Structures are given as C-alpha cells and as structure tokens.
Structure 1
Amino acid sequence: MGTLTYLSDDDLQALGIGPADIADAIERALIDKAEGRLHTAPKAAILPGGGRYVMSTLAVGGGLTVVKTVTVSPDNAAHGLPSINGAIQAYDAETGLLKAVLDANWITAVRTAGLSSVAARRLADPASESIAFVGTGVQAQSHLDAFAALFPLSRVVAYGRGGESQTRLLEKARAMGLDAEAESDPNAAIAAADIVVTSVPLDYEIEPFLDAGSLRPRTFAAITDLTIPWHDKSLSAFGTLVVDDLEQERSAPRPMVPAETIAGDLTDLVAGRIATPEDDAPRAFAFRGISLGDYAVTRLALERAGHA
C-alpha cells in the first residue's frame, strides 16, 4: 500500500502557496472540467441548526480522487476551538488506495477565497480600491488576503457582531497598510465599497438585512453564505450573477437565488461562455462551495509537498 502522507494545517501553510497560486489551480481545474477531464459531484450538506453546517465533497480527475468532510460550528470560538474542522482524503483514482490525509481548515478557507478570486478576475473592476466585509470571521480574513493580491485596495470597512474576529480583521487590514474601520450599518458598509464580501453564519433563521439596490455601479459581491443576509427581491439589482455550479444549484433543496437571475456558473465564466459585463450594474458570485475547489487546492498542496 505504501506510505500514507499526512499534511496538517501547519504543514499546508508552510508550503508557501499564495492566493494567485490557488486561483490559478482552480482555473486549471475548471478548464479540465469543461473539457471532460475532471468529474465532480454536487456537494452534500446538512444544516442541523444552531448555525452548524456539515458538508462533504467529491471530485475525480488526473489520477486523483479527493473527498472532503467538514463541519462549521460557530459556537466553537467561545471554547477556544476553530469554527471549521474536518479532513480531506486523497485516493489513487485507478486503484482506490488511500494516498494522503490532509487537515481541511486551511484548504477550506483558501479555496473559498480562491473561487471568489476566479470570479473577481472577470467580474470586478480592476481598479477597485475599497472592500466591505459583512461577517468578519475566517472567510473575511482569507478574502482580504486574496483580494489584496488582486486589486489596489486602500480601504476596508467591516460590519460584524463585534468581538475578537472583527478586531482581528481590522488589525490585519491596518497591518497591511490599509485604512480600516468598523461600520454599524451593514447597508452603509456595502454602499461605500467597490467589492463586497458576505460571510455570515449559515443559519436560515437569520432575517435578511442587505439590499443589493444600495450597491454602487459595477460593485462586485462575493456571496459565500448562501445569500442568507440578502433580501431575495433585491438580487435582481445584479446585472450579472454567477453561481459556482449549475448542477449543484439545481439539485439543492433550497436554491440560493431565483433561477432566472443566474447567468451561468464558474465553469461557464472561465470557459468564455459568459461575456464580461460591459454595463454598470453590480455583479455577483454566489456560491455554496464546490468539490472542484477542494480538489484543485489538494492537488496543488500534494505537488508542492512532493507527494503528487
């Protein structure tokens, strides 16, 4: 069977994989999928209540099968535990033998921001200088890293529940040389930004509070939270709205957005089947997270670690 490789989150962080590397790896995987070399299954997910979210992904391609299982537990922070926990298993696609086990926290954080980056490369204004965060946890941190590498950011506005996560995000932004401030009104926060990232807890009991109609022209929104904080009727303000995977969205028991508002998915965008918008309407990428992202970053990490 051979030696089983284990890569912890610390091991993965030490590989020096940057945001651009991750976005590039995801784009390559999207092209492989478009050309039939990568096969993915819709994500399986359960929301058992209390903001908890349990999910699993599966992808096969390039001689590798990647399976991930993760639980998001918002209450963990009060106990000094990470809010995201899980593991990734990499198998030889031909023999089915287990090759490697990887911690899932780091990969989950960066692959989500990587998916947003792929969309932002095509939908966001390249001159974007300001970014607003609604939700200030792990995804806000990883998206700040990713978008600071893509755009000439100078200003950060954060709306959250306060506490340590918001403080950490603002301190991180200031350490990067950016002006950063908290905002008590979420719609004022998103109205003042070129890029918006929403990442509230995945809890359908949250009452929607964001109005897409308040966005300025050409704003790009990366919506990582199933559109939970957005008023459904306001989503028509987006001139171009892309989801991560149409098959997954159509099979989901609860759609993120009305079907008629969807221009296509991320594979369509990268394959050139969705035109780059030329109008001034806001644009959005709304996503659940797809197995392709986990596959792409897992493969990249194994290659960097010399275990491909």
Structure 2
Amino acid sequence: MTATTTPTSSALDAQATADLLPWTALADEIEELLQQLKNSSSVAVPPRIVMPVGKDGSLFCMPATDGQLAMTKLISFTPGNAGTDRPTIQGDIVVFDVATGQRQLILDGPTVTARRTAAVSLLAARRLAAQPLGPLLIIGAGVQGSAHLQAFAAGLGTREVWVHSRSSASAQKLVEQAQAIGLQARQVSDLAQAARHCPLIVTCTPAQAVVLNEAPHPQAFVCAVGAFTPQMVELAPELCHHFLQHGQIVVDTEDAGHEAGDLLQAGIDIAALPTLAEVVQQNWPRPQAAVLFKSCGWGGWDLAATRLALRQHLAAIDK
C-alpha cells in the first residue's frame, strides 16, 4: 500500500474520547440503536469472545456493525490491578468504514466502556425509575461509580448523592467530585439505612461478594452493573427474588442469560425476563413499583457509542 492510499485515522486518548460522548446524547444514541433493531437487519452484534488470561484475567473481543461502520473493542480485564496505579480495564476500539474498509478512528476502550455502561443505566432509569430525581446511592466508588454520578447528574437532574465504599478514601474522593459539580453529597456507612432512603441505587463494585442484602426503598430503581460473569455477584439471592415477586426485573440484553451472576446464582429464569430493547420498543409506561435493572454489557452499546463519537469527530474536523 502506498503512502497516498494509506488510510489515516486519529487515535484519541481518554479525555478526547470522553469529549465525543456527552451523557444525554449517548443515552439517546443507545435508545436509537434499540429502536433500529426492531426494523433493521443491518445491525449485527456477534457474541463477544472472552478468553481467560493470566490469573483471573480475561481478554475481551467485541465486534459489531450497523452496515455503515464496523468496530471492534479489544480490552483486557485484570482484577489484580485493583488498588494499584494500573487500571483493571485497558484497550482500544477501532472503527472502520464498511464501504471502503478504511480505519477511521481509534477510541480509548476503557473510556467508552465506562461511559456507555453509565449511559445504558441512564436510559434505563429514564424509562424505569419511579422516582428519577433521587436521591442516588452509589455503592462502589471506582470508575463506574464516577461515571454513573456524572451520567445521572447530567441526564436525570440528580442533585443529591450518597456514596458507600469499602474504601473510605475512595468514597470521600467521589463525594468531593459530586460536590465539585454542585451536588449535595455524603459518605454513608449504614448501607441498609441508605438503601431504604434512596429510590435510585447503583451497585458498581468489583462484584467479589454480596454488597446489597435487604429490600430497598419501595419504589427503588436498582441498577446492578458490577457482576458480568456467572461467578460474580453483588446482590443477595433473596433480594433478587424480592424484585421478582414484588416488582420487576429487566435485563440489558438476552446475553444476561449466561452472564448475570446475581440472577444466575439466585436460580432465576432469565430467559423469561424482559430486556431493555423491549422496554424501549414497546414504550413501556413508567413503573411505580420497584425495578431491578441488571446490566452485563453488550457490543451494541459500544457500537452506539462509536457511531456518536465518529459523527462528533467528523463534525469537528469539518468546522
């Protein structure tokens, strides 16, 4: 290939990637993709490949296309990096033009993962939370805790945040981040009391053990994002069954059937549960009872984020 025909593309760092993915626009793009799935065969999202590497680590490969662009996310997940200066998730997303095969963009993989995960939670909360204004309880003060704080503040108008973490220093750091953007925020130690008070709850821990045991607020919207393998867990089985009997459980995609550790360990028939796509496509009325939204991740969320990022990137170039 000669220099004149070599495709050119930009490799963006974490901040540049985040700048292309504003929260509300990203949630809207995810909703648009779900609507598109109803009437179009151009969207293809093969099952992700997960290859075990090292001690407890995994290598994820997640391709997808909408017929116009094709992308693949290649990231490593290294739990042993927790508590060190190295992130637990590292990698990139590479974007190609379907018509020409040219590489168009390289995005920071962990940034896309964090933002699209929180934006999916935001979309689910917009549709399913009985009391979307909160207060919001965040359990786990890492990358996803920060992403959900920003997403819910920007997209739901959340103004009050409670934070619980096994690390007091991490919790205080997230509290200070919330206060810096004008929110009321506090660190809490009594998790059961906080769960009963807050109608919005996000669990985003390393999912090595149960962190939420008791039935929360009667109109709670609980978004569980930490557990995305059969071995991982954040919610007690009894709590999952409480939602099944007294409220509603919604999963992000059908892939939860072999990934949602919380529900699998509770012995719940995941295949019988509605997905976020059904909620969007059928335009569900907002529930007034408690809802558990179980999020495991899906390449389609990355596809939606990639579409938005590429549009924003090309628009900036054209200016």
Q: TM-score, normalised by structure 1?
A: 0.87
- Contact in 2 for aligned 1:240/1:277 (Cα 8 Å): no
Matched, 1:216 2:217: yes
- Compared CA separation, residues 109 and 162, structure 1 to 2 (3 A): same
Corresponding residue of 1:243: 251
Alignment of structure 1 residues 63-212 onto 2, 5 Å: 63-76=68-81, 78-202=83-207, 206-211=208-213
SS of the residue corresponding to residue 217 of structure 1 reads: coil
Alignment RMSD (CA, Å): 2.6
SS of the residue corresponding to residue 212 of structure 2 reads: coil
Figure out how many residues of one structure are paired with residues of the other and give that number.
300
- Compared CA separation, residues 30 and 104, structure 1 to 2 (3 A): same
Corresponding residue of 1:300: 308
Residue type of the alignment partner of 1:305:
H
Task: Using the aligned pairs only, state the percent identity.
Answer: 28
SS of the residue corresponding to residue 207 of structure 1 reads: strand
- Compared CA separation, residues 251 and 34, structure 1 to 2 (3 A): farther
SS of the residue corresponding to residue 238 of structure 2 reads: helix
Matched, 1:57 2:62: yes
Tell me the distance in 2 between the aligned counterparts of 1:167 and 1:51. 29
- Compared CA separation, residues 193 and 253, structure 1 to 2 (3 A): closer
Partner deviation per Cα, 1:251-304 (whole Å, 9 max, x = no partner)? 54967441258531111111017x335442x10210111111111111111111
- Compared CA separation, residues 127 and 301, structure 1 to 2 (3 A): closer
- Contact in 2 for aligned 1:210/1:229 (Cα 8 Å): yes
Corresponding residue of 2:28: 24
- Contact in 1 for aligned 2:234/2:262 (Cα 8 Å): no
Partner deviation per Cα, 1:141-194 (whole Å, 9 max, x = no partner)? 111111112334332211112254322211011222322222223323322211
Could you list the runs of 5+ residues in structure 1 that have no partner in the other structure? none
Point out the more displaced range, 183-192 or 73-82: 73-82
Point out the more displaced range, 19-28 or 51-60: 51-60
Tell me the distance in 1 between the aligned counterparts of 2:36 and 2:234. 33
Tell me the distance in 1 between the aligned counterparts of 2:270 and 2:303. 29
Partner deviation per Cα, 1:221-264 (whole Å, 9 max, x = no partner)? 11102271111232122212111111x22354967441258531
- Compared CA separation, residues 240 and 162, structure 1 to 2 (3 A): same
- Contact in 1 for aligned 2:48/2:60 (Cα 8 Å): yes
Could you list the runs of 5+ residues in structure 2 that have no partner in the other structure? 1-5
Tell me the distance in 2 between the aligned counterparts of 1:99 and 1:157. 41
- Compared CA separation, residues 261 and 166, structure 1 to 2 (3 A): farther
Alignment of structure 1 residues 40-51 onto 2, 5 Å: 40-45=45-50
- Compared CA separation, residues 283 and 46, structure 1 to 2 (3 A): farther
Corresponding residue of 2:15: 10
- Contact in 2 for aligned 1:67/1:88 (Cα 8 Å): yes
Residue type of the alignment partner of 1:223:
A
- Compared CA separation, residues 210 and 142, structure 1 to 2 (3 A): same
Report the Cα offset of residue 75 of structure 1: 4.3
- Compared CA separation, residues 215 and 148, structure 1 to 2 (3 A): same
Corresponding residue of 1:276: 285
Tell me the distance in 1 between the aligned counterparts of 2:54 and 2:226. 15
Partner deviation per Cα, 1:70-96 (whole Å, 9 max, x = no partner)? 223344354423332111111233454
Point out the more displaced range, 91-100 or 283-292: 91-100
SS of the residue corresponding to residue 214 of structure 1 reads: coil
Report the Cα offset of residue 217 of structure 1: 1.4
- Compared CA separation, residues 52 and 167, structure 1 to 2 (3 A): farther
Corresponding residue of 2:3: none
Alignment of structure 1 residues 231-270 onto 2, 5 Å: 231-238=236-243, 239-246=247-254, 248-252=255-259, 256-257=263-264, 258-259=268-269, 263-270=273-280
- Compared CA separation, residues 128 and 14, structure 1 to 2 (3 A): closer
